[in-house]
Chains A and B, each alone.
Chain A
């Protein structure tokens, strides 16, 4: 399981100070999220695509991620046009698809893709642990940072555990079907994972106690703001402000 596939690389964005990344992307996402209409979101999508182009990350992998996001959005395309009031475009039986409905779901699609692309391009190009460090430096509460970091540290361990259990099922000729036996087996699998995760968390906590843990992590490496970071920070803030002024106010 590889969670950091976009973090490998050596573009300007890979070297960018993660603190600056957080400070600039949060307002950017916020502005996109509260935009109305389709013009603003379209511009945001173009800007996000430009940022992606600069990171030189694999387009194939990127499309893989976008398919996941857009699968959910596809469902909106089925339902929203029929449930939004406005001028009818066409009818299916008693159902009416409206012009406004289509524009609304288009706006959502553009916004979601703009946000996902920007997040992958800006945050995805840093390793998770440097993002966690950045959060510490930005004075995010310790508990939240620990939660974020431990989730990342142990998700792959949990995934390996899941694969072992799945293999154990496979070598005894288990095949998933639509029946009680399959549901029960998967329930056992999930239950087993929960128990094992709980046990592991207890062991990790004990190991931390043995090394004198008192609730605080000390950060060893510190970031240094470079000129590129400042330039990017200012540029991104300018873009966000202009977008906000044009499409929200």
Chain B
């Protein structure tokens, strides 16, 4: 395999929090285009930390993070990463801060330099794909938690990322919202890392399931690539 094909390549990564808690000691991990990876593991194993390291929100103590073929070290190296990889936070209230859904979804595209007209078109298209048509003018903090999660996903995918990092997206979702979430992933997204403790959910969305434990990532199970797509 040509190494250039990796979207994300992590070598010998060590990371401890400022309070001294050691999370990773020489972690290796890689992701290619087209990988649908489920990530599970005990609480505090560092699943969220790993996603935040990839986005440059946390900086490693040592080791190498290579994304899109380039080593990323400084804050400015991650500007491009944040434009091309989308992270969905565990708590949607952290992600949604604009008054209306239209503005929240448009926030990313506008930061990418899109015009107001282009941003509006993106909002319309994204809301439609996620079954949120007609939500544009609604007030973000008055949504139900399921709706909030879908809108949070909309704000991330509106930036048209090449890869999604999803932090426990299925927690607290009812059946209908889960279904819409799954439908979107299956139809529109082909590369992602998805953290979840729900193995049933992971089996539905991931081709491979990894387990993060004691600073190691191990294969938990490989699922058949020809799995039936149920929508």
Tell me whether A and B are bound partners. Answer: yes
Interface residues of A (CB under 8 A from B): 127-129, 132-133, 149-150, 153-154, 156-157, 200, 203-204, 206-214, 217-218, 220
- A sample of 22 cross-chain residue pairs with beta-carbon separation below 8 angstroms, ordered by A number, consists of A128-B99, A149-B99, A150-B97, A153-B97, A154-B93, A157-B93, A203-B94, A206-B94, A207-B94, A208-B97, A209-B82, A210-B55, A211-B111, A211-B156, A212-B82, A212-B108, A213-B111, A214-B111, A217-B98, A218-B106, A218-B110, A220-B102
Within 8 Å CB of B91, what residues of A?
203
Q: A210-B57, A214-B111, A218-B116 are in contact. List 6 more A-B contacts (CB 8 A).
A: A129-B139, A203-B89, A204-B95, A204-B97, A207-B97, A220-B102
B57 touches A206 (CB 8 A): yes
CA distance A213 to B91 in the complex (A): 19
Which secondary structure dominates chain B's binding surface?
helix
Category for how many chain B residues contact A: 20 to 34
Within 8 Å CB of B52, what residues of A?
206
Interface residues of B (CB under 8 A from A): 52, 55, 57, 79, 82-83, 86-87, 89, 91, 93-95, 97-100, 102-103, 106-108, 110-112, 116, 119-120, 139, 141, 155-156, 159
Within 8 Å CB of B119, what residues of A?
220
CA distance A211 to B107 in the complex (A): 7
Known A203-B94, A220-B106: A209·B57 in contact at CB below 8 Å: yes
CA distance A128 to B52 in the complex (A): 33
One of A132, A203, A211, A217 near B82 (C-beta < 8 A): A211
B155 touches A211 (CB 8 A): yes
